[in-house]
Structure 1
Amino acid sequence: MYPSGFSTMYGEKPKNVGETRPERYYSTKIQFGGFGHLDVFEEVERKEDLVTIGGNEIHTLYSPQGKLVVLNRGKNNTGLAVCSLCGFATDYTKPFSHKNKFGKDCPNGFATNAALGHMFLSDVLKLRFPNKVIDATSYEDGKDKWSTLLYAILEGASDVLGISRSDINGCVDWSDGYPVLILFDEASGGAGHVKRIHQNLESVLKGAFKRVDGHCGCGKETTCYGCLRSYGNQMEHDVLARGLAKSYLEWLLSSQHSDVSQKLKEVPEEKKLTKEWEETLDLLTSDFYDLAWDMVKEGTINAPDEVGYPLVSEETGVMGYEAEMIWHDKKVAVLTQEATPECRNAFKESGWNIFVVNEMDKDHLLKELKARSGGKKW
C-alpha cells in the first residue's frame, strides 16, 4: 500500500515531549523492483559484464533508474492493520474499533493487513555470484549466507573506496529463483557510489574478506559491530554468520594470487616486502598484480600512496575519473588500459604524469618509474 500522505487526529493537541525517548522499532525493509525507463544518456551508462575473479565468473549489471521499494511491515513483520474507509492504521488488529481523524467512531470494524511503502529511483549494481556450496558447519542452520555476503561487500566497499557506509545499501533479490545481490546508492537519483564499486569489484571483494577474517574477535557463527552489524541491519542480526561470508570469499578469491609464496622467494633478501606493499598487493586487481610484484623486486619504488584514487577538482569535486595507483609527491598516476581519453586528459590537465598499463612495455614502465625516483628508494 502506497499512502498518499499522513494526518493526525483533527483537533489533537501536541503532547509534552517528556524526558524519555519514544519507543522505536526498526521495521522497514527495502526490495528491488526492477528498472525504470532509461533515456539515451542513461543507456550509455548501463554496463553489463561477466567478471572473472579467481577463475570464477560473476555476472554484473550496473544501471541508473533502479526501482527500490521501501516497506514498513510493522512490529515483528506482522504488518499493519489499516482501515480502508478512513485510513486509520495501527500495529494491533484486535480490537479494531477506532475513530476517524475527526474524532468520530468509524463504522468499519474490519482491518486490512498491509505494509506501507514508497518507491525511489537510484543507481543499482546487480551481482550474481556462483552458487558454491560451502562445507556444512554446525552453525549454518538458520543463517543466511547471501545476506551475510551482502553486508560484507557493503562494508568492504566503505573501507576500500572511502564511501560512507550510510551512503550505500543493499538487499538480496530472489525474484528469478536465484540469489542476486542488489547494491544501491541511498541518495535518490544516485550518487555514483555503486558505479565505483562496479569499477573496483575485485578490490572491494578483498576488502570484504578483510572485514570477516576474524580480527574483530567474534565467533564464526555470529557477527558483531566490529565486522558486519549496524543499526540498519538489526532485523537480520540473527541470520548473519561471519564464517559463512569468510568461507565463501576465501573460496572465491583463493586462486587469484595462489603464487604468493613463489613470488616472495623471488624478492631478494635485502628488498623485503614492506607492510605498505603488503596492503597494496591485497587491494590490487589482477591486471596490476604482476606489475606491482616487479616494483617490489626492483626495490627502489615505494608502495603507492593510494589504490583506486578518484580525481578531485577544487571547482567541481569528484570528477568521476580514477587511477589504479598514484604517488602524490611524484604526481604519478597509473591508469587502466580502459581509461577513456577524457579520463587521461583530466589527469594530465591536473598535472599528473600518467602511465597506462598494457600500452607501455613493462620494462619501459618500470624504468620510467625508477627514473622518477632518482635511483633512490622513494
Structure 2
Amino acid sequence: MLDRLLYKGVLPRYAFPTDVATFYVFDPANSRQGFPTFRFTPSQGLAVALSQYAPGKEVWIANKRYTSGALYSPIKGERSRAWHQKRLYYECRNCRYARTQPLAQGHRGEKLDCPACGAREAFGEARYWVRPPGFAHPVSWDEDTSPDDQPARSYATRAKLEAPAPPENAAWTMVTGRVRRHFMRETLLVTNSGPRQEGYTYCTTCGRIEPTAAHGGELSGPHRKPFPDDRDPGCPGGRVAKGICLGMDFITDILLLSLRLDYPVRLAPGFLPTEIALRTLAEALASAACEVLGLEPGEIQADFRAALTEGGQNGYEAEIYLYDTLPGGAGFSRLAGERAGEVVERALEILSRCDCDVSCYKCLRSFKNKFEHDRLDRHIGADLLRYLLHDTRPVVTQARADHACATLAEDLRRQGGASLTVETGATIDVPTIGPVTVPILVSGPGGHRRAVCITHPLTATTPSDAGLKALGELTPIPLDPVHEIKVRRSLPWVTRGVLTALGF
C-alpha cells in the first residue's frame, strides 16, 4: 500500500525516495554463503542510474574503476520479480515517440503504425522493458579494466510522455492564437536501449547483463555468477533474453503546450529542422519557467513530440511538455502554466538576447543537454516562437542566406568542373512579375538550367520571395528550394542532387 501511494504521488516522494538504484561492489573475502557483503554501495536516482550505471559503464569509486555487468538486489526475489513484471517497449524509429504496454496486449518483435507521426510499421519492433532493481560489478571481474575493452556507451532517453493529449472539448486554455496549454498529472517514461539501440543481453538465471552490441558475448554459454557463491560459482546459462531495454516510469506534474501551425510553416515529424526547432524551444521554455518562478535550473525540464492527431502527422501540430523533476511533482509546472504568457515572452528573450552564432552556455547549453548541443539553434527557435506569438512568417536572415549561397555555389563549381556554369545574383524576366533575382543559376550540358534558392528550415519547400515562387511556376527553369540547415550540414548531398538533376 505504501509503495502504491508513493508511486501515485499521494504521499510526497521527496520525503521517501523510492526511485533509487544502487551500484554494488562485493567484498568476497567477508561474504558468507547466502550473505554477501559489499565494499561500496553508491546510489543514484534511477533516472540518472540508467545512464551512470548502465551495463558496460565504468564507475569510479575510491580511485578504482569498476564496471557494471549485472542486475542485482540483495533482497531475495526482487530481481526475479522485476523480470516477471517486464513490459513491451515500443519506440518509433522516425519520430521517437515511445510507450510501454502489458505483454498480453502485444508480442515481442511486433511492429505497429506510429500513433504520433503515422509512419507505417515504424513503431517497434517491440522489446522487453525491465525496471532494474540495482546494478553490480561482477565479483569475478578485476577492479581495473583497460579502456580498450569497453563497449560503446549508452544513455537513457529524456522523459517521454505516453499519454495522449486531452480531447478538443477539454479544459484547454489559450496562451496565444497558436499556443494553448493544459495541466495534467501523467506518467513519463525513461528508457536505455543500449549501445546502437540494440538493447542488452540478460541472463535471467544469475543476473549477468551485457550490451547486445558487444563483441564476444559469453552469456549464452556457461559463465561465472556475478555474486559470491562458494558452493556453485558457475551459471549454466541458456536462459538468456536478447535486446531488452532498461527503464523506469514515474508520475509527475506536466504542463502540455499545443502548438498549431499553418502552411507553409511545418514541423514534419522525423526531420532534422523539426527536431532542432522543437528541441531549442523546449530548452528555452524550461529555462524561462525556472527564471520566472525563481527556481534552480533543472527543476523543470521539457521535451517535445508530434501531436497524436492528424495535424501532428502532417506537421501542423506539435506538443512541448514541461514537467517537474522532483519525484511525484511539486506543482512547479502548474505555476508555470498559470504564468504561461510570461514564460513564453522570457523564452523569446533568452533566444534573442545572446550574441552567439548558434547556441552557447550563456543561452541554451548546459551539462544536462551536452549530447544535444548540435540540435540547438537559437535563431530557428526564435523564428518559431515569433511565429507562434505574433504570426510572423519565419524568414532566413540575409547573412545566413548569403553564406549558404556562397558555400553552395563554390561547391557546385568545384564538383561540376568546366562543363558547369554557376551564376550568383542572376536576373531573369518572369512573365507578369518582371525581373527576378535568382540566388544561384546553374547551367549544364545541353543548355539545361536550374535555379536554386535558400529557404528557411521551417518553410523548407516554399521560398519567401514571391518572384522566386513565380519563377518555378511561370518559366521553364525549375526551382530547387534548399533550406539553410541542409547546406550547412549536408553540402555534398545538396550538390550531388543539383548535379544529378542536370544530368551529371
Aligned to 2:191: 71
Query: Secondary structure of 1:191's partner?
Result: coil
Deviations 1:121-149 (A, max 9, x none): 1111111011255599xxx7585211211
TM-score (norm 1): 0.53
| Inter-partner Cα distance in structure 2 for 1:25 and 1:93 | 10
2:296 matches 1:164: yes
Q: 1:89 aligns with which of 209, 219, 234?
A: 209
2:208 matches 1:80: no
Query: Secondary structure of 2:178's partner?
Result: strand
Query: Secondary structure of 1:212's partner?
Result: helix
Q: 1:57 aligns with which of 175, 178, 190?
A: 178
Query: Secondary structure of 2:172's partner?
Result: strand
| Inter-partner Cα distance in structure 2 for 1:14 and 1:32 | 40
| Inter-partner Cα distance in structure 2 for 1:104 and 1:153 | 53
Structure 1 residues 205-224: aligned runs within 5 Å: 205-213=344-352, 215-219=353-357, 222-224=358-360
Counterpart contact for 1:27–1:235, Cα < 8 Å: no
Q: Against the structure 1 CA distance between its residues 134 and 123, is the aligned structure 2 distance closer, same or farther, given a 3 Å change threshold?
A: same
Pick the structure with greater CA Rg: 2
TM-score (norm 2): 0.41
Q: Against the structure 1 CA distance between its residues 209 and 10, is the aligned structure 2 distance closer, same or farther, given a 3 Å change threshold?
A: closer
2:290 matches 1:154: no
| Inter-partner Cα distance in structure 2 for 1:78 and 1:223 | 31
Q: 1:117 aligns with which of 244, 247, 251?
A: 247
The residue type equivalent to 2:280 in the other structure is T
Aligned to 1:279: none
Compute the displacement of 1:244 (Å). Answer: 1.3
Q: Against the structure 1 CA distance between its residues 50 and 120, is the aligned structure 2 distance closer, same or farther, given a 3 Å change threshold?
A: same
Counterpart contact for 2:140–2:226, Cα < 8 Å: no
Give the gaps of 5 or more residues in structure 1. 17-21, 36-46, 257-378
| Inter-partner Cα distance in structure 1 for 2:218 and 2:349 | 54
Compute the displacement of 1:84 (Å). Answer: 4.2
The residue type equivalent to 2:131 in the other structure is P
Aligned to 2:113: none
Deviations 1:228-280 (A, max 9, x none): 11222223222222111100112223379xxxxxxxxxxxxxxxxxxxxxxxx
| Inter-partner Cα distance in structure 2 for 1:147 and 1:128 | 15
| Inter-partner Cα distance in structure 1 for 2:187 and 2:383 | 32
Deviations 1:159-216 (A, max 9, x none): 2221222211122133615221111100111111101110000110010001110x33
Query: Secondary structure of 1:101's partner?
Result: coil
The alignment-based identity, stated in percent, is 21
| Inter-partner Cα distance in structure 1 for 2:257 and 2:161 | 13
Compute the displacement of 1:154 (Å). Answer: 0.6
Compute the displacement of 1:80 (Å). Answer: 2.9
Aligned to 2:162: 33
Give the gaps of 5 or more residues in structure 2. 1-128, 145-149, 165-169, 228-232, 313-317, 393-504
Aligned to 2:257: 127
| Inter-partner Cα distance in structure 2 for 1:4 and 1:52 | 40
Compute the displacement of 1:224 (Å). Answer: 1.6
Structure 1 residues 5-16: aligned runs within 5 Å: 5-8=133-136, 11=139, 15=143
Q: 1:234 aligns with which of 343, 355, 370?
A: 370
Q: Against the structure 1 CA distance between its residues 80 and 149, is the aligned structure 2 distance closer, same or farther, given a 3 Å change threshold?
A: same
The residue type equivalent to 1:71 in the other structure is T
Counterpart contact for 1:212–1:245, Cα < 8 Å: yes
| Inter-partner Cα distance in structure 2 for 1:88 and 1:113 | 14
